[in-house]
Homo-oligomer: A and B are copies of this chain.
Amino acid sequence: MKQVVTFGEVMMRLSPPLNYRLPQTATLEVTYGGGDANVAAALAQMGVPAAHIGVFPANELGHAAANHLRRYGVDMSRCLFTEGHRLGLYFLEVGASLRPSRIVYDRADSAFAHLDPAAFNWDELLKDAGWLHWTGITPAISAAAAQATADAIAAARRLGITVSADVNYRRNLWQYGQKAQDVMPDLVAGCDIVVCTEGDADDLFGIKAAEGTDNGFISMSQQLTERFPQIKRVIATRRQTQSASHERICGLLWNQGEFFETPFYDISPVVDRIGGGDSFISGFIYGDAHYESREQALSFATIASALKHTIHGDINLVTPAEVEHLMQGNLTGRLLR
C-alpha cells in the first residue's frame, strides 16, 4: 500500500491518573495526539506506510510531541518546527459510570494555528502518497489552517490521490470568524470517502435525513453523495453510550448505493474513549486496501474502533492480526498464551 498522509494539529494531553479529578491530583499522565495524526499512527502500527504533516513549536514540547508519533512509526520528516507559538494542550478528566469524562482545552495560539499556508508545497509533500486524510477539526482552528487544508486537497486531486475526511463538526472550535457551513462544503467536495453522521450532515450541509435509524443514515448518505459527487463512500459509527464506562458501537457504510452495518459491540469497561473515531477511519483505510469485501473493511474498522476503547492514549495500538482474531468471532476476550 502506498503512503497515507495526514495533516493536522497534535496536542499534548494531560490527564490525572485513574479517575482522579484535576483539583485533587499531584501527577498528570502525558501523551500526545490529534484526530489526524492518530490515524497515521494507527496505520503505521498496522504496517501501512504513514506520514503526518504538522506544525510544532521549536521547543522541547514540540519535539516531544513529534517523538511520540515517530515512536509508533509515523514519518514525521515533513513536519515544520516554528518559533514564537506554543503547543496546544488539553486536560482530560476520565469519568466513570454516570460521571462523564471532561476535557478542558488550552489550545489557543498554537504553532499549528499560526501556520503559514505558503510554507507547504503540497505537490512535493504528497508526491509519494496514495491517500490523504484530514478531519473537520483542522479547518476549524484558523483561516490559515483552513487554507492549507484546501491546498492539500487540491493537490491530492491533481495527483490522483484518494482523499478521506472525518467531518467531525465541533461547534465550539470555529472561532476565527468563518463558519463551518461556509468552509466545509468546498473541502468535502474534494473527498472520496467521508465519515459523517446524520447530525453532522444536518449541521454542516443542511441535509435532513429520513426518519428511522438505518433509513436516516442511508437517506443522509444519498443526499450527501448527490450533493458531492466525488464522494463514493460514507461511513459512520453509531453509539449507544450506556455510561462513561460502557459503550456500544456499530459501524455503518453506504457504498455507492449499498448499505452495510455491523452488529453492536459492547465495550465494558471503556479504558480510554479518546481516538475512537480516529481508529474507525484508520481501520477503514486499512480494510479498504486489504480486503476485497467492503463489508469486511467495515467490520475491521468497527472492531478496530471497539478495541481502541480498551487502550490507553489517543493511538490505537493494535495489530491487524488482533483485529482479525475478533473478526473470526473471538469476542469474549479469552486469555491468549
Interface positions of A (Cβ within 8 A of B): 14, 18-31, 59-61, 63-64, 67-68, 70-73, 86-87, 89, 91, 93, 95-106, 108-109, 170, 172, 241-246, 265-271, 273, 306-307, 309-313, 317-318, 322, 325-326, 330-337
Contact = CB atoms under 8 A, between A and B. Distances in A.
A31 to B, nearest CB: 7
A67 B72 contact: yes
Contacts of A20: 312
Nearest to A246: B268
Contact of A101 (B68, B106, B335): B335
A23 B24 CA distance: 14
A70 B330 CA distance: 33
B60 A307 contact: no
A337 B105 contact: yes
A24 B246 CA distance: 24
Given A14-B28, A25-B30, A333 B68 contact: no
Given A26-B29, A27-B29, 19 more contacts: A14-B14, A23-B63, A24-B313, A24-B317, A25-B30, A60-B102, A61-B91, A86-B108, A87-B106, A97-B266, A97-B309, A98-B265, A98-B326, A99-B318, A101-B333, A172-B337, A241-B332, A243-B266, A245-B268
Contact of A269 (B102, B108, B245, B266): B245
Given A104-B59, A108-B109, A310 B30 contact: no
Given A29-B27, A64-B23, A67-B73, A266 B98 contact: yes
B60 A67 contact: no
A9 B45 CA distance: 22
Contacts of A337: 102-103, 105, 170, 172
B99 A333 contact: yes
28 contacts: A19-B310, A20-B312, A21-B60, A22-B60, A22-B61, A24-B317, A26-B26, A27-B27, A28-B28, A60-B93, A60-B102, A87-B106, A89-B106, A97-B267, A97-B306, A97-B310, A97-B333, A98-B306, A99-B318, A99-B322, A101-B336, A109-B109, A241-B333, A241-B334, A243-B331, A244-B333, A245-B268, A273-B335
